[in-house]
């Protein structure tokens, strides 16, 4: 399962990442972690989050090494 979120603006060259950069929370049933991910039909190894408050695209880390990225994120229970 991919674990890399790409969806917020990347820093410009020589721009430090702000410690206030917020990684989006995932709203899903923690018992079914793959229920909120759909593969992209046009791009290999690209996935989109379903039913989230904002659009999220997941890609391999090697595609975003020079951008801001998240490997781990909080999952909020959908029923709360």
The tokens for 3 are 């674990």
Secondary structure E strands in 1-80:
5-6, 26-28, 37-39, 47-49, 57-58, 75-77
Residue 10 has pLDDT above 80, yes or no: no
Residue 24 has pLDDT above 90, yes or no: no
pLDDT grade for 14, boundaries at 50, 70 and 90: very low
């Amino acid at each position: 399962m991919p674990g890399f979120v790409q969806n917020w603006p990347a820093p410009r060259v020589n721009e430090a990442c702000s410690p206030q950069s917020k990684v989006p929370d995932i709203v899903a049933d923690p018992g079914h972690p793959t229920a909120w991910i759909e593969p992209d039909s046009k791009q290999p190894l690209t996935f989109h989050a379903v039913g989230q408050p904002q659009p999220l695209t997941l890609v391999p880390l090697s595609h975003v090494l020079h951008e801001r990225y998240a490997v781990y994120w909080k999952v909020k229970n959908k029923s709360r």
